[in-house]
């Protein structure tokens, strides 16, 4: 059996970050300030803390300002909304990201609804979700699905007419991924936990995007020979070695590699793209807010 190729998301993301770093000085020259990204972290969830630290580091590395707002898990809804309103009013802030999930007593929909859509670099506000749905090019698009689309276009070129199956219907990945693929003229099916004969549905696909959060749920035999598979899953599972853990995706990669044309590895596939696209969205938001044309080639 032939082995498929691994898509190097890490390298693609590094190239994108390089293009962003090259574009920032022009913005600084024209506006007299750096683009700024504000990240809000509520509580001390270890995984969220790691993500927020990586985002801050990557932001500074491309020459933008990183502002971190850490608040205790006991923060009230009113206090959190007040913080977002302050960031909305702060002209040095171009992007606002409230790290999810929030503690249970907080209403994430209300918090997201408070973010100025022009600063919503996560693309989670209903204004941006609506713009994406109606094909308005000024939408800020959620980072992970936009990163997946960039990898797919790099691999396949024109996606028009292809059968795409998205597994998962979250607002963060599944639904925006569906919109992006539809806008590329794919025939899109969104599968989820209630889908009958998931194996059969997946087997139709030229493009599979797996975003369910269940370790290695998608089996190699489900994949149509020659399909391109994007694995969004990041699942921590026990490793072979006693007491150790490892990260696996939503796809059983060791099997799938024998069926696919190409697949993103976990880690090193989609993960690095998310942060690179966040920086891209921040730079785009900064240009639009400053009345400058959106940077090209990003
Ligand atoms: N938690 C997991 N992924 C994301 C993301 O893309 N944005 C935010 N704000 N929180 C997340």
> Model confidence over 123-157: pLDDT tens digits?
999 999 999 999 999 999 999 999 999 999 999 99
CATH of the domain at 191: 3.40.50.720
Q: 154-174: b or e for each residue (b if 16 or more CB lie within 10 Å)?
A: ebbeebeebbbbbbbbbebbb
Say if 130 falls within a structural domain.
no
> Model confidence over 1-28: pLDDT tens digits?
678 999 999 999 999 999 999 999 999 9
Residue nearest to atom 1 of ligand 1 (CA): 100
Question: Ligand 1 within 6 A of 100 CB?
Answer: yes
CA–centroid distance, residue 32 to ligand 1 (Å): 30
Rounded to 5 degrees, φ, ψ at 77 are -55, -45
Question: Ligand 1 within 6 A of 99 CB?
Answer: yes
Distance of alpha carbon 127 from alpha carbon 61, whole angstroms: 30
CATH of the domain at 70: 3.40.50.10860
Residues 81 and 186 in one domain: no
Say if 297 falls within a structural domain.
no
Residues 111 and 152 in one domain: no
Q: Where are the alpha helices (DSSP H) in 140-269?
A: 143-156, 174-183, 198-203, 253-256
In terms of Cβ atoms closer than 10 Å to its own Cβ (0-12, 13-18, 19+), residue 44 is: exposed
Q: What pLDDT shows up at residue 34?
A: 98
Say if 174 falls within a structural domain.
yes
Residues 164 and 259 in one domain: yes
Say if 128 falls within a structural domain.
no
Residues 207 and 147 in one domain: yes
Domain C-terminal end among 117, 132, 154: 117
Query: With bands split at pLDDT 50, 70 and 90, how would you rate the model's confidence at 275?
Result: very high
The active-site residue out of 99, 119, 131, 224 is 99
Q: Per the structure, how many domains does the chain have?
A: 2
pLDDT at 288 over 80: yes
Query: With bands split at pLDDT 50, 70 and 90, how would you rate the model's confidence at 297?
Result: confident
Residues 102 and 204 in one domain: no
Report field, pTM of the whole predicted structure over 0.85: yes
Question: What sign for the dihedral angle of Cα 46, 52, 55, 59?
Answer: negative
Start-to-end CA span in the chain (Å): 37
For 164, the domain range is 143-272
> Model confidence over 87-132: pLDDT tens digits?
999 999 999 999 999 999 999 999 999 999 999 999 999 999 999 9
Residues 176 and 93 in one domain: no
Question: What sign for the dihedral angle of Cα 48, 267, 221, 179?
Answer: positive
Say if 236 falls within a structural domain.
yes
Average pLDDT rounded to a whole number, residues 39-55: 95
């Amino acid at each position: 059996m032939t082995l498929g190729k691994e898509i190097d998301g890490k390298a693609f993301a590094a190239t994108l970050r390089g293009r962003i770093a090259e574009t920032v000085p022009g913005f600084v020259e024209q506006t007299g300030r750096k683009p700024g990204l504000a990240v809000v972290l509520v509580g001390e969830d270890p995984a969220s803390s790691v993500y927020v630290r990586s985002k801050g580091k990557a932001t500074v590395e491309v020459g933008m300002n990183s502002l971190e707002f850490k608040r205790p898990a006991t923060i009230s809804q009113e206090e959190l909304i007040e913080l977002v309103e302050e960031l909305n009013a702060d002209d040095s802030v171009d992007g606002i990201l409230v790290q999810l999930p929030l503690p249970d007593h907080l209403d994430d929909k209300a918090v997201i609804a408070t973010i100025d859509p022009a600063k919503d670099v996560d693309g989670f506000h209903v204004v941006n979700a609506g713009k994406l749905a109606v094909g308005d090019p000024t939408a800020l698009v959620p980072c992970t699905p936009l990163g997946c689309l960039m990898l797919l276009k790099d691999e396949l070129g024109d996606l028009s007419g292809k059968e795409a199956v998205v597994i998962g219907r979250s607002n963060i990945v599944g639904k925006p991924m569906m919109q992006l693929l539809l806008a590329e003229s794919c025939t899109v099916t969104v599968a989820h936990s209630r889908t009958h004969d998931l194996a059969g549905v997946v087997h139709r696909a030229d493009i599979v995007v797996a975003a369910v959060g269940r370790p290695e749920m998608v089996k190699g035999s489900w994949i149509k020979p020659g399909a391109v598979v994007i694995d969004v899953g990041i699942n921590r599972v026990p490793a072979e070695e006693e007491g150790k853990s490892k990260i696996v995706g939503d796809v059983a990669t060791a099997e799938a590699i024998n069926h696919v044309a190409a697949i993103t590895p976990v880690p090193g596939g989609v993960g690095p793209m998310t942060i690179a696209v966040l920086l891209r969205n921040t730079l785009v938001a900064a240009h639009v807010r400053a009345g400058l044309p959106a940077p090209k080639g990003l």
